[in-house]
């Protein structure tokens, strides 16, 4: 699984199969080999890249089995792209034991040419006791371990565990350590049908963060567009669904925010493939076969339309905002979004240092998102306990502006920490320009405006005891690279150059050598080589480092990007898009760049871009 673009746990990725590459996030429409509602060509035009069908059904039907064995699964289905096959687990749950064993059905899937083959796992339901669910987890793991050699087909090892978070964590870890190259989350259809999205979010989170990031996460049966954005936000890569047909048979239409009955529809939306082809009345009066086919076309189109929106949101890095907005569309979604926020500390390490767009503040729930969690965690460490703090007076600060009078007459003559009361939390004033403090958009921008230098700030007595600009870059360094690094990287004699036009810090030097720049778009530090050397001197190996092997070291020293397959060690606390030091195994500095992955992800990814190099120690032409 190669990472293309990201926002937190959400990712646009590329997953290679024997019959082509799947771009994620996406959905595999369920194809019943006995019954075709929509043609393959119709689905491909909507964006379909892969499908899922049931090997158990194929094996039980003599005609289907013979065709698949003689000419292959892809010829049977009439599709030359990636095909995943299920094993009959659900049928086993519904009807009792089936007539085939685990290895027997895996062998059959491989024999007919399935790209992704599923083991015969044990289906758990929400009503199962912890003891019963744990037995299912262990039996599924045992069956996965029956697959002892690499195969032509990719093996899917489902993550089970019912509603028990500890079992989902356990199952995710166990399955990640096997030959499974694909990790579906199973046993969730009853939760989807009951709109228990909050519990489902917990299951996804605990499965995802304990699974290998090198393998796709598939949510079995999770194909309703109203929940897909939330699922992708938590790390789901691939869905499958027969809902587009099931809802059509019941006369129901899928929309991005929910489901509606055809009987209640007056007009079709202009984006629907039904628009201009039928009026709502005409489709209501059509035959059952026609109505089912046309509603299935609308439903699948809606699903792919939502997936395209989700992918675009990941590229924009606005998926969190999209999900937060959309969570207000249904009480179950709102409850689920609140349950996500309880996992703020677990989610925070995966979220980037900054995003391209501003942060939208909606209400008090926004104060629980991962960026706020990160700020609150830093504030508690940066300020410490028992130390007296002061607060920036009302009017002395607004986003993009801190009163110069407050700095010169108050901050610089007082050694106490100063905090901004910002969006319901308290933030060190030195982070005033850092994401998301300055980059927030809320009602204040439109109702209160910006204040002039306040007359209410009392002048502090005494001499100047500190320099605000120096303290700002030190605090940013502490935030990005660890408490205590700021004073070493930026000693008192540090030279700071500010923009004449904006008054903002631009370059930071020491003895005529650049240490860092302060980026305008996010307010954070971009290290240069000399700054990296000073950070390296204060950081214990492998803190703030990505270590590459000898094969890659010379290339990286000349400015070429770092790829994951050449990484041999790293700081597990790295957060995405933060600067890192690139070194060789002797801890010799090679380059400075932005990490594309978190430290946790680096532990399991095996390929993809690891560091985008910005500065390097050798010229391109050097050997």
Q: Which two tokens stand for residue 295?
A: 């509603």
> Which pTM was predicted?
0.94
pLDDT of residue 450: 40
Name the nearest CA neighbour of 506 among 466, 467, 469.
Answer: 469
Question: What is the rounded average pLDDT for all residues in the chain?
Answer: 93
Is residue 361 a contact partner of residue 441, using CB atoms and an 8 Å limit?
yes
Helix, strand or coil, per DSSP, at residue 474 = helix
pLDDT of residue 447: 46
Q: Which two tokens stand for residue 540?
A: 């214990």
Handedness of CA 552, 557, 558, 559 (dihedral sign): positive
pLDDT of residue 448: 45
Give me the phi and psi of 568, to 5 degrees please: -115, -15
- The per-residue pLDDT for range 59-112, each reduced to its tens digit, is 999 999 999 999 999 999 999 999 999 997 766 666 566 678 899 999 999 999
Catalytic site residue from 2, 86, 115, 522: 86
Name the nearest CA neighbour of 36 among 59, 64, 60.
Answer: 64
Tell me what percent of the residues of the chain surpass a pLDDT of 90.
84
Q: Which two tokens stand for residue 413?
A: 């003559």
- The per-residue pLDDT for range 387-437, each reduced to its tens digit, is 688 999 988 988 778 988 999 999 999 888 999 999 999 999 999 999 999
pLDDT of residue 400: 72
Return contacts of 13-18, CB within 8 angstroms, 24+ apart.
13/216, 13/237, 15/216, 15/237, 15/238, 17/50, 17/82, 17/115, 17/116, 17/154, 18/82, 18/113, 18/115, 18/152, 18/153, 18/154
CATH number of 481-616: 2.30.130.10
Give yes or no for residue 452 having a pLDDT over 70.
no
503's torsion region: left (phi>0), alpha (psi -120 to 50) or beta?
A: left
Give yes or no for residue 458 having a pLDDT over 60.
no
* Cα separations in angstroms, 447 against 358, 442, 444, 450: 18, 9, 5, 10
- The per-residue pLDDT for range 132-190, each reduced to its tens digit, is 999 999 999 999 999 999 999 999 999 999 999 999 999 999 999 999 999 999 999 99
Q: What number of helices (H) and strands (E) belong to the chain?
A: 25, 30
Is residue 536 a contact partner of residue 581, using CB atoms and an 8 Å limit?
yes
Nearest-angstrom CA–CA distance, 542 and 544: 6
pLDDT of residue 144: 97
Query: How do the domains of the chain map onto residue ranges?
Result: 2-342, 347-466, 481-616
* Cα separations in angstroms, 94 against 56, 97, 326: 13, 9, 35
Architecture label for domain 2-342: Alpha-Beta Barrel (3.20)
Is 86 annotated in the active site? yes
Name the nearest CA neighbour of 564 among 1, 115, 163.
Answer: 1
Span 605-616, average pLDDT = 95
pLDDT of residue 95: 56
Give yes or no for residue 456 having a pLDDT over 60.
no
- The per-residue pLDDT for range 502-516, each reduced to its tens digit, is 889 999 999 999 999
pLDDT of residue 96: 62
- The per-residue pLDDT for range 514-568, each reduced to its tens digit, is 999 999 999 999 999 999 999 999 999 999 999 999 999 999 999 999 999 999 9
């Amino acid at each position: 699984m190669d990472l293309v673009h990201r926002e937190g746990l959400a990712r646009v990725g590329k997953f290679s199969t024997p019959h082509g590459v799947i771009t994620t996030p996406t959905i595999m429409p369920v194809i019943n080999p006995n019954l075709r509602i929509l043609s393959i060509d119709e689905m491909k035009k909507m964006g379909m890249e892969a499908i899922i069908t049931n090997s158990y059904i194929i094996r039980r039907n003599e005609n289907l089995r013979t065709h698949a064995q003689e000419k292959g699964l892809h010829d049977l289905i009439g599709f030359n792209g990636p095909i995943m096959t299920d094993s009959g687990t659900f049928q086993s749950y519904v009807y009792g034991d089936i007539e085939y064993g685990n290895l027997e059905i895996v062998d059959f899937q491989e024999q007919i040419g399935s790209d992704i083959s599923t083991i015969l796992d044990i289906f758990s339901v929400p009503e199962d006791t912890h003891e019963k669910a744990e037995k299912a987890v262990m039996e599924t793991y045992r069956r996965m371990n029956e697959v002892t050699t690499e195969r032509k087909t990719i093996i899917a090892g489902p993550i089970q565990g019912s509603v028990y978070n500890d079992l989902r964590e356990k199952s995710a870890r166990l399955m990640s350590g096997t030959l499974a190259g694909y990790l579906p989350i199973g046993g969730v259809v009853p939760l989807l049908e009951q709109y228990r999205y909050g519990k489902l979010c917990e299951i996804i989170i605990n499965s995802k963060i304990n699974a290998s990031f090198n393998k796709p996460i598939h949510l079995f049966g999770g194909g309703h567009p109203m929940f897909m954005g939330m699922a992708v936000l938590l790390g789901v890569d691939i869905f499958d669904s027969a809902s587009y047909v099931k809802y059509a048979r019941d006369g129901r239409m899928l929309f991005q925010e929910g489901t509606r009955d055809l009987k209640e529809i007056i007009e079709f939306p202009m984006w629907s493939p039904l628009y201009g082809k039928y009026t709502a009345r005409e489709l209501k009066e059509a035959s059952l076969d026609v109505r089912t086919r046309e509603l299935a076309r609308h439903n699948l189109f809606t699903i792919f339309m939502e997936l395209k929106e989700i992918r675009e949101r990941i590229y924009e890095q606005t998926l969190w905002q999209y999900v937060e907005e959309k969570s207000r569309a249904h009480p179950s979604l709102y409850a689920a979004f609140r349950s996500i926020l309880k996992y703020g500390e677990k989610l925070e390490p995966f979220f980037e240092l900054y995003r391209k767009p501003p942060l939208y503040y909606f209400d008090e729930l926004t104060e629980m998102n991962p960026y706020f969690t990160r700020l609150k965690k830093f504030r508690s460490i940066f300020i410490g306990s028992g130390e007296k703090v002061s607060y920036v007076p009302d009017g002395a600060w607004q986003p993009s502006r801190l009163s110069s009078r407050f700095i010169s007459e108050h901050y610089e003559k007082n050694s106490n920490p100063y905090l901004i009361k910002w969006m319901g939390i308290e933030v060190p004033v030195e982070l005033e320009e850092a994401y998301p403090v300055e980059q927030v958009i809320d009602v204040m921008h439109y109702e209160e405006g910006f204040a002039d230098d306040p007359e209410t700030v009392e002048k502090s007595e005494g001499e100047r005891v500190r320099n605000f600009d120096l303290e700002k870059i030190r605090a940013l360094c502490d935030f990005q690279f660890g408490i205590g690094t700021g004073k070493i990287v930026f000693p008192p004699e540090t030279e700071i150059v500010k923009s004449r036009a904006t008054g903002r810090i631009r370059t930071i030097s020491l003895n005529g050598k650049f240490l860092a720049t302060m980026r305008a778009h996010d307010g954070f530090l971009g290290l240069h080589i000399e700054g990296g050397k000073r950070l390296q001197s204060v950081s214990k190996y492998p803190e703030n480092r990505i270590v590459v092997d000898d094969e890659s070291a010379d290339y990286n020293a000349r400015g070429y990007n770092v790829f994951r397959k050449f990484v041999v060690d790293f700081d597990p606390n790295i957060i995405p898009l933060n600067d890192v030091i690139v070194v060789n195994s002797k801890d010799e500095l090679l380059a400075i760049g932005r990490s594309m992955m978190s430290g946790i992800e680096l532990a399991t990814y095996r390929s993809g871009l690891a560091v985008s190099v910005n500065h390097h120690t050798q010229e391109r032409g050097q050997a």
